[in-house]
Amino acid sequence: MGEVQIILSQSVTEIKINAMKRKLIKKYVCLFGMLHLLFSCTLNSDFEIPNSLGHEENSGLEKLKNQLSNQEKEEISISNLKSLFVWGQAVEITSDIVIKGYVSSSDQSGNFYKELFIQDMPESPSAGIRIAIEMTNSYNKFNFGREVYIDLKGLFLGESRSGDGLISIGGSKNSDDEIENLSNNQIQKHMFRSTETFGLTPRELDITQIKREHVGMYVKAKNVQFPEDLLGKTYYDPNDSFDTQHPIESCMGFANTTFILETSSFANFRFHPLPDGGGDISGIITKTFTGSNIVLVLNSLTDVDLTRERCVPLDINEFEVLFEENFDEGKDNSTFDFPGWSNIADQGRELWTEQIFGSNGYAEFSGFRTNDPLNIGWLVSPKFSKTGNDNLYLNFKNAQHHIESDQNILQLFMSTDFDGSNLHTANWQELQANLSHLNDIWYVFKDAGLVDLSYISGDFYIAFRYEGSGLDSKLDGAYMIDDFRILKPK
């Protein structure tokens, strides 16, 4: 019996050990499965963004919509929100207001970091705004085109860096009166996704048309290319510390005009070579780190379509110059006195003047220290005749300095019934050209392009109109005109 008992005891022990082994194996299998599931969810970024939302987010959005319906909160436009911005201040939003927008940026490529932009419409947007967020890989939640509601009460409107002029929504403010990023908790409480994702249609613009009002919008820069001296280089220059700014150019008249494409050192396409063709580039309009310039930033390389032939500037030798005024015969710092030109102060006392710099003469209007609340000055050309010339074009160069506001403007007009003195009895048609604005480099003349005058019949006048103020330093900058020419093809 003793022998039998020992054998039975050993068998029971083996059974217990085997059972324990099986339990351990099951635990390891389960643990491995959980780890595999966890990492496959968190590390794989190539998944489809779900349209369905969590219960908490659904209920939060439903509550917000009910508050809007019951007029407990008010939906305002992005433009109206931006009008509340105060330079150099982070302002807390204390009203029960809400904005709705569509995500126009994506950080999936690494070209954006802890920020996203929204615009007011999926097509033909009129305004966009930046949101500073303490979140990376935000495209997983706020994917491109996603409709988003933001409950603004308790958030802040201002700049992330004082003086950069990049209007942003933040979660708090620091001692320098700058906004700080929304925390993850604030994102959950204030930013609500709908289930809708829209395909955004980029707003198509020539690079000469891109201005600060387009910040935050998804736009398409048409008919552009990289300069020849950049071909063979990459989107990011390894010699740069953070961002690389490459010019993109468009052929305008007898020269090229440029804009800036900015690429982050963290973009996953940073070492891709720049394409050598011409075409279109889509992206988000934003500002440089200091706010000194507006720039175009890519969401991804799929937004670059440079597969067409490169453009070439026009050759002046292919045109006959019918009239030319280069303003080189004037006197420096004197009133404008060229035969046939009309110099008219429509508002205020200031007139266009003659200026000379480096032996180059030009016409200039400046509102600096005029002490006039409004300066409007017209410079009207001599009378030209269209008779006998089927195809006529206008070309000139223009520049600016100290322009700091979109309200300080230069405009181009044409009239067929101006009497030589009375502006207000004539009919003036505004003409489109590559005119200088506040984003241009000071004192650098650029080609206005070819302005088509072929549709005009009879006699006509060309006029430049300046508007600004001599009391506000942001509105008293100067515009410069040079090398005015009336041309026809040979």
Contact assessment for residue 351 and residue 338, using Cβ atoms and an 8 Å cutoff? no
pLDDT at site 156: 98
pLDDT of residue 214: 96
- Tell me the per-residue pLDDT of 118-151, one tens digit each, with 9 for 90 and over: 999 999 999 999 999 999 999 999 999 999 999 9
In sequence order, what E strands does 133-277 have?
Answer: 146-151, 156-158, 168-170, 172-173, 179-180, 191-197, 203-205, 218-225, 243-252, 255-264
Q: How many CA atoms lie within 13 A of 442 on its CB side?
A: 7
HEC letters along 271-328: CCECCCCEEEEEEEEEECCCCCCEEEECCCHHHEEEEECCCCCCCHHHEEEEEEECCC
pLDDT the model gives residue 27? 45
CATH class of the domain at 55-197: mainly beta
Confidence band of 25 (pLDDT split at 50, 70, 90): very low
Q: Where are the domains of the chain?
A: 55-197, 203-308, 316-489
- Write down the pLDDT at residue 435: 94
Measured distance between the N- and C-terminal CA atoms of the chain, rounded to whole angstroms: 125
Q: What is the DSSP-derived secondary structure letter of residue 138? A: G
One-character DSSP codes across 203-235? EEE-GGG--GGGTT-EEEEEEEE--GGGTT-BS
User: What average pLDDT does the segment 83-108 reach?
Assistant: 96
pLDDT at residue 51, rounded to an integer: 53
178 to each of 86, 218, 474, how far by Cα in Å?
11, 26, 22
Selected residue with higher pLDDT from 47 and 489: 489
CATH architecture label of 316-489: Sandwich (2.60)
C-beta atoms surrounding 219 within 10 Å: 24
Give CA torsion, residues 21, 23, 26, 28, to 10 deg.
-70
The class of domain 203-308 in CATH terms is mainly beta
Report the run of H or E that residue 7 belongs to, with start and end.
Answer: helix 2-43
Two domains, one topology: 55-197 and 203-308: yes
For the chain, give the number of residues: 490
Give the SS3 label for residue 88: coil
pLDDT digits (tens, 9 = 90+) for 340-356: 999 999 999 999 999 99
Band (323; pLDDT cuts 50, 70, 90): very high
Lowest mean pLDDT among 7-11, 329-333, 381-385: 7-11
134-151 burial by CB neighbour count: b if 16+ within 10 A, else e?
Answer: ebeebbebbbbbbbbbbb
User: What burial class does residue 103 get, using C-beta atoms within 10 Å of its C-beta: 0-12 exposed, 13-18 middle, 19+ buried?
Assistant: buried
DSSP classification of residue 40: H
The answer to whether residue 8 scores a pLDDT higher than 50 is: no
d(CA 227, CA 29): 58
Q: Is 79 helix (H, G, I), strand (E, B) or coil?
A: helix
Bridging pattern class, strands 218-225 and 278-287? antiparallel
Q: What is the pLDDT of residue 187?
A: 97
Residue 431: predicted pLDDT:
97
| Structure token pair of residue 466 | 């300046």
The C-alpha atoms of residue 427 and residue 424 are separated, in whole angstroms, by 8
Taking alpha carbons only, the member of 383, 390, 396, 386 closest to residue 462 is 383
Q: Is 221 exposed, middle or buried (0-12, 13-18, 19+ CB in 10 A)?
A: buried
